[in-house]
Structure 1
Amino acid sequence: MNAPEVRRHDDADVLVGDVASALLDRIEAAQARGETPDIGLTGGSIAEELHRELARRAVDSSVDWSRVRFWWGDERFVPADSPDRNAGQARAALLDHVSVDPANVHEVPASDQVATAEDAAKAYSTALREHGAGFFEVLMLGIGPDGHCASLFPDHPALDARDAIAVAVHDSPKPPPDRVSLTFEAMERCRAVWFIASGEGKAEAVARALADDGSVAETPARGVRGDETVWWLDEAAASALP
């Protein structure tokens, strides 16, 4: 795996525009090769802005949205209609505005659909195994101020999950407490991992994640690399880098 690449942008608006352009290009290229790409979405405010920008550009794009499979790096184990759901945010900002095939939108089961987060992780793992290509074309991830990515938090037992695609996460230090997350092993099966971070509040965590030294237990975002790994940052998020 290659060393991470850092792409710095003047502000969040420029960041969102450049990520949107790059993602559309990746999807178009994959479809030109005859593939149906698997795209991993993330949550958070910058992701919501990105989803809106993708929906805005969809009219002029040659992407066949019915030939894209959508997944999530993690999800909150709450009812399906909860505003905390990453999937709900993505639907409202993007997926409800483009011509997706509903069969290609793979949400983590919600707490009113299965009994436990373990059941949700098992079902999500099965869906990825049966319907995915075996790798993500692009997996987008955020980073928390504590250095977490997806729902893998510093010093949390879920960091040690092995031989698993998705894992239940309990006692999350950030509410809600119950979640489902892809494991490190699943997140590394990617042509491209894209971390997207905006704002000064992320700067210290970004610097730790990209430092030459440090532990994955302290900064879980250090533990995810794809064939290509890109950190998309605005200047505020990059402000603590050398």
Structure 2
Amino acid sequence: MSNERRAIVHSTKPELAKAVAKRFLSKVPHIIAEFDEATVVLTGGTMGQAVLEAINGSPKRDAVDWSLVNFWWGDERWLPAGDPERNDVQARKALLDHVSVDAARVHPYAASDAGVSLDDAAEAYSQELANHAARSGKYPNFDIVFLGVGPDGHIASLFPEREGIRETERTVIAVRNSPKPPNERLSLTLRVINSSVRIWAVVAGSDKASALGLTLAGASYNEVPAAGLEGRRKTLFFVDSDAAAQVPDSLIDPGEFWTSADSTDEH
């Protein structure tokens, strides 16, 4: 696994969202060209939605063959289908409803009104991952995992000092008594997240500054779950200037954000 961890800073939230969208739209066609498909894990939250909206609004949006992109979610709120607070609903509104996705390649979690229990829904998503796993593994080959980071350092629905962040066997967990509403959720585990070739954490706001600083300084992932992120090739933190307030200068990317070489150096 790579130990490369960089914070790439942009001045404002809109600039941050547009920059991540630009990188995504340049990267995905290269992935598809090499592997005939791309597999992406989406996140929720304000910045997760903002990035998808920026992708949808980009003039380069249709340079991607969306029918060859597989979509999964890092976590989901245990709410009824169609609830506007569900991550999959937000993603469809921001991007997926506007591009030519293959419905068979879109993998949402079960909804709370689907007639299954929370535990059964976790098992069903775990089985879905296994059904699409490469080389008889337990989950697909993920090319990009998008994540947000909470003020407490949580990622997906893996919260500090909870058993979920320490889970090493299961691929998907049911989350109860979440410290942020709703209190029931579903989440990929850290081992699955870290199986991705690239992890892109998008972090904005002064309330995230402490967690981001601790993350990049190497805090315990039990106390700051984001500190446990380690993609197979790259783990990048795309942040706005407010979130970067407590990040040491030595951990901030010195300035080079986008070059033509960068579009191919991760294959």
Native 8 Å contact 2:166 2:222 kept in 1: no
1:7 Cα shift?
0.6
| Partner residue in 1 for 2:116 | 115
Are residues 58 and 79 of structure 1, via their aligned partners in 2, closer, same or farther at CA, if it must alter by over 3 Å? Answer: farther
| Partner residue in 1 for 2:231 | 226
Are residues 60 and 154 of structure 1, via their aligned partners in 2, closer, same or farther at CA, if it must alter by over 3 Å? Answer: closer
Aligned pairs for 1:52-63 (under 5 A) are: 52-57=53-58, 60-63=61-64
Give, in whole Å, the separation in 2 of the partners of 1:153 and 1:106: 23
Native 8 Å contact 2:25 2:60 kept in 1: no
Aligned pairs for 1:201-216 (under 5 A) are: 201-212=207-218, 214-216=219-221
Please list every run of 5 or more consecutive structure 1 residues that lacks an aligned counterpart in the other structure: none
**Deviations 1:73-112 (CA, angstroms, capped at 9, x unpaired):** 0001111121210000000110000000111110011111
1:56 Cα shift?
1.4
Give, in whole Å, the separation in 2 of the partners of 1:118 and 1:185: 19
Amino acid at match of 2:114: Q
**Deviations 1:41-91 (CA, angstroms, capped at 9, x unpaired):** 111111111111111126653210010000110001111121210000000
Give, in whole Å, the separation in 1 of the partners of 2:104 and 2:115: 19
Are residues 58 and 122 of structure 1, via their aligned partners in 2, closer, same or farther at CA, if it must alter by over 3 Å? Answer: farther
| Partner residue in 1 for 2:3 | 2
Aligned pairs for 1:1-242 (under 5 A) are: 1-57=2-58, 60-133=61-134, 134-212=140-218, 214-227=219-232, 228-242=234-248
Amino acid at match of 2:230: R
Give the structure-2-normalised TM-score. 0.87
Native 8 Å contact 2:47 2:204 kept in 1: yes
Give, in whole Å, the separation in 1 of the partners of 2:59 and 2:109: 25
Give, in whole Å, the separation in 1 of the partners of 2:49 and 2:200: 15
Native 8 Å contact 1:38 1:135 kept in 2: yes
**Deviations 1:175-214 (CA, angstroms, capped at 9, x unpaired):** 10110010011011111001100111111111111113x2
Native 8 Å contact 1:58 1:98 kept in 2: no
Amino acid at match of 1:28: P
Are residues 171 and 230 of structure 1, via their aligned partners in 2, closer, same or farther at CA, if it must alter by over 3 Å? Answer: same
1:35 Cα shift?
2.6
Give, in whole Å, the separation in 1 of the partners of 2:108 and 2:143: 18
Runs of 4+ off more than 6 Å: none
Determine helix, strand or coil for the equivalent of 1:186: helix
Amino acid at match of 2:35: G
Are residues 191 and 26 of structure 1, via their aligned partners in 2, closer, same or farther at CA, if it must alter by over 3 Å? Answer: same
Amino acid at match of 2:231: G
Give the stretch that moved more between structures: 152-161 or 164-173.
152-161
Amino acid at match of 1:237: A
Native 8 Å contact 1:188 1:224 kept in 2: yes
Give the stretch that moved more between structures: 18-27 or 50-59.
50-59
Q: Percent identity?
A: 40
Native 8 Å contact 1:114 1:120 kept in 2: no
Give the structure-1-normalised TM-score. 0.96
Please list every run of 5 or more consecutive structure 2 residues that lacks an aligned counterpart in the other structure: 135-139, 249-267
Give, in whole Å, the separation in 2 of the partners of 1:163 and 1:58: 42
Give, in whole Å, the separation in 1 of the partners of 2:167 and 2:95: 31
Amino acid at match of 2:82: D
Give, in whole Å, the separation in 2 of the partners of 1:135 and 1:193: 13
Give, in whole Å, the separation in 1 of the partners of 2:131 and 2:115: 19
Give, in whole Å, the separation in 1 of the partners of 2:60 and 2:226: 34
